[in-house]
Amino acid sequence: MAEKVLMKGNEAIAEAALMAGCRHYFGYPITPQTELTAYMAKRLPKMDGVFLQAESELAAINMVIGVSAAGKRVMTSSSSPGISLKGEGLSYLAGCDLPAFVVNVQRGGPGLGGIQPSQSDYFQATRGTHGDYRTIVLAPDSVQEMVSLTIKGFELADKYRMTAMLLADGTLGQMMEPVSLDADKIVTFEKPWAACGTGMKRPNNIINSLSLIPEELEQWNLTRFKRYDIVEENEVMYEEYMMEDAEICLVSFGITARVSKNAIAEARKMGIKAGMIRPITLWPFPKKPLLAATEKVKAFITVEMNMGQMVEDVELATRCRRPVLSCTRCGGVIPSPDDVMGAIRKACELGGDAK
């Protein structure tokens, strides 16, 4: 195993992208993800790559579309308001069946919001912008996982010809942890569909999301959703933490899952059997383990840095068989283990009889 190094989350994502073979980055500065952009600005020119600071997020995501359409690995990164601007491009990427890797290091919102960490783009990431489409959403909870999920994200994007989004937050982006930069096996894919010149050797390739024939457009969507079904079947990732005997199940992703682990340790000291299911993919959502957990736990608590955006996904996954509470802070405030303990106590009082 390679020697561990200390890296900020933002820099670790950038380094992992380079490990994954990404040589094209387009971005625009925004706190709290700017270290990623700066890292790429420093590294890419020295490895014959392309770093370009675009005139806007709109331009950046469309440059991503260009490189992706030409068949090469490419990424962009931003923070919440910037991701809104990229929203148009995300829909086009989906409509054109193009792979892309997009990073959102979230900050508080809505509007210009703040610059402190947040998870308030959960809806945006898992639901997206206009049209029927899906985005693979990866939610790391450590700097090490930012590396592994970045490499995985490029692979999934190419494999399914869709966007993989790494959904982090200001805390994960800014914090340093020891990280091992062992390259997992880098999986790549042939791209015979790419628009990079016919070479007069094949019919021309057309990358396009437009159809003026409703039945045709419907068929494109149906085909795409068949692919999404395979993603849902094969690519769900989650962590079960102390769930063997758990009666209270926390559901949390990213940095709040780390806070939740502290709270679980506290709860267990007090004799409360708490555990956690941590979705690592927010889409596809870990529905099966959550449904299975309804057989043994009394209540679920989502722990999030937003107004409880994941609650309804948990309610749907568990088919409301058990109460779903939420422990949330927002606007850039991080819930403390005490906040989470308060929610755990409240869940215990419910007694878990609600059926």
Binding site for another protein (CB under 8 A): 4-6, 24, 26, 31-32, 50, 52, 54-56, 58-60, 62-72, 74, 88-89, 92, 96, 115-116, 170-171, 174-178, 194-201, 204-210, 255, 258-259, 261-262, 265, 334, 336-338
Q: Hey, CA dihedral for 128, 305, 104, 152, is it positive or negative?
A: negative
Pair 168, 106: CB distance under 8 Å: yes
Q: Which is nearer to another protein, 141 or 313 (CB)?
A: 141
Q: Which is nearer to another protein, 44 or 310 (CB)?
A: 44
Residue 47 or 200 with smaller CB distance to another protein: 200
Minimum separation from the CB atom of position 58 to another protein (A): 7
Task: Give the CA count within 13 Å in the CB-facing half-sphere of 325.
Answer: 23
Looking at residue 110, its amino acid is: P
Report the C-alpha gap between 237 and 118 in whole angstroms.
22
229 vs 338 by CB, closer to another protein: 338
Report the nearest approach of another protein to the CB of residue 173 (Å): 9
Dihedral class, residue 197 (left if φ above 0, else alpha if ψ from -120 to 50, else beta): left
Separation between Cα atoms, residue 204 and residue 185, nearest integer Å: 33
Query: What's the closest the beta carbon of residue 103 comes to another protein, in angstroms?
Result: 17
Task: State the burial class of residue 81 (Cβ atoms within 10 Å of its Cβ: 0-12, 13-18, 19+).
Answer: middle
Q: Which is nearer to another protein, 342 or 352 (CB)?
A: 342
b/e burial code for range 122-146 (CB count within 10 A of at least 16 → b) = bebbbebbeebbbbbbbbbbbbbbb
Pairing of strands 299-304, 324-328: parallel
Smallest distance, Å, CB 260 to another protein? Answer: 8
- In the complex, least distance from residue 239 CB atom to another protein, rounded to whole angstroms: 12
Nearer to another protein, 172 or 317 (CB): 172
To another protein, the closest distance from the beta carbon of 308 in angstroms equals 20
Q: Rounded to an integer, what distance in angstroms lies between the CA atom of residue 93 and that of residue 90?
A: 5
